[in-house]
Chains A and B, each alone.
Chain A
Amino acid sequence: MKKYLYLFLALFAFASCKKNNSTEIEPVDLNIKINYNLTTSAYTLPLNIAKLKITNIETRTSQEFTANDKGIILIPKLAPGFYDIDASSNFSATEYSTITGTVTEKAVTFNASLKNKQITVGFSETINLNLIAGSIGDWVIKQIYFAGSDRVNGAIFRDQFIEFYNNSDKTLYADSLYFAETTGLITKSTSGSYNLLASGQLDWSKSQNMPADIDANNDYVYARAFLMIPGTGKQYPVEPGKSIVVAQTAVNHKSPFTGVDGKAITVLNPSLTVDLSKADFEAYYAPFLSKPLASDIDNASVPNLEVLSYFGTDMIFDNPGRYAYVLVKVDGTQKPKDWPQYNYPTKAAPSSSAGKYYQIPAKWIVDAVEVQPNEATDRIPKKFGATLDAGFTFVPLGSYTSQSVIRKTEKTVNGRVILKDTNNSTEDFDYFNVANPRGFK
């Protein structure tokens, strides 16, 4: 009997031996090198304060790391896939002034980002990230309501608005403040028709008649709609911590109103939309159109924007969020209306009737926010570099959901709310479930 028992135990032991099994695919050890993109060698900035966040686009899991003295970060056993990689270094005004000798009153943030980066099996390259300090202005884009509200129960797109905020400690004037909805490659499936950069975005340097002696891709952005707040110069003061709301149509969208065609425009569920009757400005496109949009009524008590260029039948923002927004302030030397316009950089020569888009110099941009669709699979290559916006923001629920992107509150000083502005909208923005003009988060 014993020998049978031993046989059973031997079989048992054989079965309980854990086999060493491996698959053909293994995670990768990812090396990242961080540097500062400085225009001078007069000083150096410490690398070991640089933070890095790497987010798997599919699983949305993220990890955070700090660089060593040489700016190197090793991420062990990273699953191959698509990642958003964001790096930043933050300096207080005092720190920055002490190190650089450049006196500043505001904290300085350096950013770098790499979006939708594919880490393949066996990836062995070192990813270099150059931290760039963006412009931190007094004016900021505070809220963008591009998603619109429910197509059946809400106001669809007609309740859209954008809000600008005085983030400084002095009164600013909104007069001649320009803003634009900027364009680029919007639909990935049409990319074959265009000249593209390595990033997958449009290579504007290949646009017809584009001067060869400018950096058309990095020093400029291109506007689908370009609008200006009117005024005589000091007609529209905005106090510190206050904002201006620019509406597509400045009416209370929660209540019925009569359209230009004489028909009532109503919403089934007023809680899904917003009251824009107290907006500071509105867009009114009817004078340019042979058949104006019924909802584009002119509220006589709300000043109209000046329209330099437009797209569509009203200031209709792209609901999925495939465009981007810039705020522009120029000095007296500039006449934006006279800035050049260019065609899309198509591979085929553009027709004479093809649309042209204002070329806006980045140096006059005081704030820029890139938005993207909510689903990673629908996202398009980034249009802005780290000098304008190192990241992007989005509304989690997507189109027609009443959600807006809202800049986060950083702190409150003597009752004045100071909004977060690190030049990286991924970090600077949150969202409202229902857009809230002049609201804070």
Chain B
Amino acid sequence: MNRKILKYLFLLWLPSSVLAQKTVNDKELQQALATNRFYADSTAQETFRFAKLSSYYLSTLMPERYSTISLSYNYDKGTYIPSQGATKINAGKLSTEGTVKLGDIKLFGGFSYTKTFEDSTRFSHQTRNNTSSPYYFGSPAYVHYERSVYRFQAMANKNFLQEKLSLSIGTDYKVGDHFSTNDPRGSIGEYQFNLNASLGYKLSAFVKLGIGYRHGYGQEKITIGYKNPRYYESSSFPMYYNHLINGYGETKPMLNDRKYNDDQKRNGLDLYLDVNAGNLGSFHLFGNYIEENQRYFFANGSGFTDYSKYNLKTSDINLLWNKKLTYGIVGAQAQYKSVDGADYNIGFNANNYKYLSRNLGAKLFLTTLSAKSIFNHFIKADYLEEERIDGIRANDVYFNHILLMLGSSKRWIKENNRYLGIGFSAHYQFSINDDFKVAPANEAYFTRYVIYHDYLFNTSSAAGGEITAEYGFPLFKMMMSSLKLNAIYTQKLDQKSLSRTIVTAPGKDRFSSNISLNLYF
């Protein structure tokens, strides 16, 4: 099944991404420069990111033609991280994406391969895509994780009825392999497939309405193995034995049955509204609702054993506004996202765990363009609240925090299409409210290593900055290339005190860096 999907996606991806690169002609360099400019324009990038939310926007918000390949290396270090994060990350990524128009059909294709090495991560044999899950394995001892993830994206669009009616389809397929190299040795295989189809209709030259449908499914397959049999033969090594987390509270030893599957199915509905308000600019409103059902079970020759069920309801509303100015573009983006998760605990035949999160964000950005330079400025505010409730253990932990960011960048355009860019930004995060209800009587490993740590991390305040430098130049007179460096530093400012047994707490800072070689066609 996986191979069939892989083949299908590859064929879909091929014409847009690869053929786009094959069909370069004498105007290659001009096309490469346009693509490069597209990536330099943060307003265009915001629009592009917004457009990738759905194939619905392929015809209107994505460039007619562009292609890029990027090879990047990421290095993160520092202990100002959530409890289940990694103290050090080394990651390499190869990615390519592009659009092309073949006749009346516009295509988008994207591919990425990411290899990640995570040092010192604990209590989370997970893929990192399903972090609200109530049911997973973990241990307090640090493990080293390696992850390989391949992702294929494809979109296609065709317009009908004098371009009044647009039909779009998009697929997103991901396959990954995650494993830890020391005891306890988690091994997680995953695949995810998502499909979206949308129909848009222009009511007038100014207003377009759309509706879309989403369907997806996937699986995570988890197995925990050991080199040292002592760690699973008894529960005398709690740092190493396999803990089962089922909810948001204390674990139980799962020494023997150390495998399960998490099958996921999701369906959703999209609504779209686009308004071209003339002098006021253009507005794009996109809302969707997705309901996902996860089933945690184990299957063998004698049948199925169900362990847990989890239902996730996600509502997402995105608004994009941009307006062309004489000297550039101004825009804004706002987002509201809510996630409501609830489990069905098989042992108690009732709901025990709830996960609730709300995210509200707004960003204002301005790009000014001239022959010699490009300026980008932005200001951003993000509000996040999250609550995890475990009924049988009477745990209820709530926090919210606000992240404020502002930044600017400038690109100096030199002779022969060379350029130099530098950018700065600053961020500040603080919490305004929290609620902490955790019964001390239930305090053991998970409470000490995860709940306390995360509460301290999520309610702390922090500030930091980011610096970006980029040098770009033409390559072989047919493409643009750039070398980009990026570094982010975040320092913890303040942390709450908690009168509990604290065995681990967030560290003082976190450093992230990235270097990439980018080719634009």
Chain A residues within CB distance 8 Å of chain B: 8, 11-12, 15-16, 18-19, 21-27, 56, 58-61, 63, 77-81, 121, 374-377, 396-398, 401
Which of A16, A22, A398 gathers most chain B CB within 10 Å? A16
Do residues B433 and A375 form an inter-chain contact, with CB atoms below 8 A? no
Query: B250 at interface (Cβ–Cβ under 8 A)?
Result: yes
SS class of chain A's interface: helix, strand, loop or mixed?
loop
Q: How far is the CA of A396 from the CA of B442 in the complex (A)?
A: 21
Q: How far is the CA of A77 from the CA of B432 in the complex (A)?
A: 29
Do residues B234 and A397 form an inter-chain contact, with CB atoms below 8 A? yes
Output the nearest chain B residue to A63 by Cβ-Cβ distance: B441
Q: How far is the CA of A396 from the CA of B443 in the complex (A)?
A: 21
Which of A15, A16, A377 is close to B336, meaning CB atoms less than 8 Å apart?
A15
Do residues B350 and A24 form an inter-chain contact, with CB atoms below 8 A? yes
Chain B residues whose C-beta falls within 8 Å of the C-beta of A61 in the assembled complex: 250, 441-444
Do residues B443 and A25 form an inter-chain contact, with CB atoms below 8 A? no
Which of B250, B342, B389 gathers most chain A CB within 10 Å? B250
Output the nearest chain A residue to B343 by Cβ-Cβ distance: A23
Q: How far is the CA of A401 from the CA of B255 in the complex (A)?
A: 17
A-B contacts besides A21-B356, A58-B251, 15 pairs, CB < 8 Å: A15-B360, A16-B432, A18-B387, A18-B433, A21-B354, A22-B391, A23-B353, A23-B391, A27-B439, A79-B393, A121-B350, A396-B236, A397-B236, A398-B234, A398-B236
Known: A59-B251, A375-B255. A12 touches B234 (CB 8 A): no
Chain A residues whose C-beta falls within 8 Å of the C-beta of B360 in the assembled complex: 11-12, 15
Query: B24 at interface (Cβ–Cβ under 8 A)?
Result: no
Output the nearest chain B residue to A75 by Cβ-Cβ distance: B441
Output the nearest chain B residue to A121 by Cβ-Cβ distance: B348
Which of B362, B387, B393 is close to A21, meaning CB atoms less than 8 Å apart?
B387
Query: B233 at interface (Cβ–Cβ under 8 A)?
Result: yes
Chain B residues whose C-beta falls within 8 Å of the C-beta of A8 in the assembled complex: 362
Do residues B392 and A24 form an inter-chain contact, with CB atoms below 8 A? no
User: B455 to nearest A CB, angstroms?
Assistant: 15
Chain B residues whose C-beta falls within 8 Å of the C-beta of A58 in the assembled complex: 250-253
Chain A residues whose C-beta falls within 8 Å of the C-beta of B251 in the assembled complex: 58-59
User: B250 to nearest A CB, angstroms?
Assistant: 4
User: A281 to nearest B CB, angstroms?
Assistant: 31
What 8 pairs between A and B have smallest CB-CB spacing? Answer: A23-B391, A58-B252, A25-B391, A24-B350, A59-B250, A396-B236, A24-B351, A398-B234
Chain B residues whose C-beta falls within 8 Å of the C-beta of A79 in the assembled complex: 249-250, 392-394, 439, 442
User: B389 to nearest A CB, angstroms?
Assistant: 6
Known: A19-B356, A61-B444. A375 touches B234 (CB 8 A): yes
A-B contact pairs, 23 of them (CB 8 A): A8-B362, A16-B432, A19-B356, A21-B387, A22-B391, A25-B348, A25-B350, A25-B352, A25-B391, A26-B391, A26-B394, A27-B391, A27-B394, A60-B444, A61-B441, A79-B250, A79-B393, A121-B348, A374-B234, A374-B236, A375-B235, A375-B253, A396-B236
- Interface digits, B435-464 against A, CB 8 Å rule (1 contact, 0 not)? 100010111100000000000000000000
User: B176 to nearest A CB, angstroms?
Assistant: 31
Query: B35 at interface (Cβ–Cβ under 8 A)?
Result: no
Query: B385 at interface (Cβ–Cβ under 8 A)?
Result: yes
Q: How far is the CA of A19 from the CA of B340 in the complex (A)?
A: 12
Q: How far is the CA of A17 from the CA of B251 in the complex (A)?
A: 31
Query: B511 at interface (Cβ–Cβ under 8 A)?
Result: no
User: A431 to nearest B CB, angstroms?
Assistant: 10
Q: Which of B379-413 contact A (CB under 8 A)?
A: 383, 385, 387, 389-394, 398, 400
User: B339 to nearest A CB, angstroms?
Assistant: 13
Chain A residues whose C-beta falls within 8 Å of the C-beta of B393 in the assembled complex: 27, 79
User: B272 to nearest A CB, angstroms?
Assistant: 21
Chain B residues whose C-beta falls within 8 Å of the C-beta of A397 in the assembled complex: 230, 233-234, 236
Q: How far is the CA of A128 from the CA of B376 in the complex (A)?
A: 74
Q: How far is the CA of A24 from the CA of B439 in the complex (A)?
A: 18
Query: B345 at interface (Cβ–Cβ under 8 A)?
Result: yes
Q: How far is the CA of A59 from the CA of B245 in the complex (A)?
A: 11
Query: B358 at interface (Cβ–Cβ under 8 A)?
Result: yes
Output the nearest chain B residue to A25 by Cβ-Cβ distance: B391
Do residues A27 and B362 form an inter-chain contact, with CB atoms below 8 A? no
Which of B230, B391, B398 is close to A18, meaning CB atoms less than 8 Å apart?
B398
Q: How far is the CA of A398 from the CA of B336 in the complex (A)?
A: 53
Chain B residues whose C-beta falls within 8 Å of the C-beta of A374 in the assembled complex: 234-236
User: B433 to nearest A CB, angstroms?
Assistant: 7
Q: How far is the CA of A60 from the CA of B441 in the complex (A)?
A: 11
Do residues A23 and B230 form an inter-chain contact, with CB atoms below 8 A? no
Q: How far is the CA of A24 from the CA of B348 in the complex (A)?
A: 10
Chain B residues whose C-beta falls within 8 Å of the C-beta of A81 in the assembled complex: 392
Do residues B439 and A77 form an inter-chain contact, with CB atoms below 8 A? yes
Chain A residues whose C-beta falls within 8 Å of the C-beta of B249 in the assembled complex: 79
Q: How far is the CA of A121 from the CA of B392 in the complex (A)?
A: 8
Q: How far is the CA of A77 from the CA of B360 in the complex (A)?
A: 35
Known: A16-B400, A23-B353, A25-B392. A80 touches B236 (CB 8 A): no
Do residues B358 and A15 form an inter-chain contact, with CB atoms below 8 A? yes
Output the nearest chain A residue to B352 by Cβ-Cβ distance: A25
Q: How far is the CA of A398 from the CA of B387 in the complex (A)?
A: 40
Q: How far is the CA of A377 from the CA of B232 in the complex (A)?
A: 13
Chain B residues whose C-beta falls within 8 Å of the C-beta of A11 in the assembled complex: 336, 360
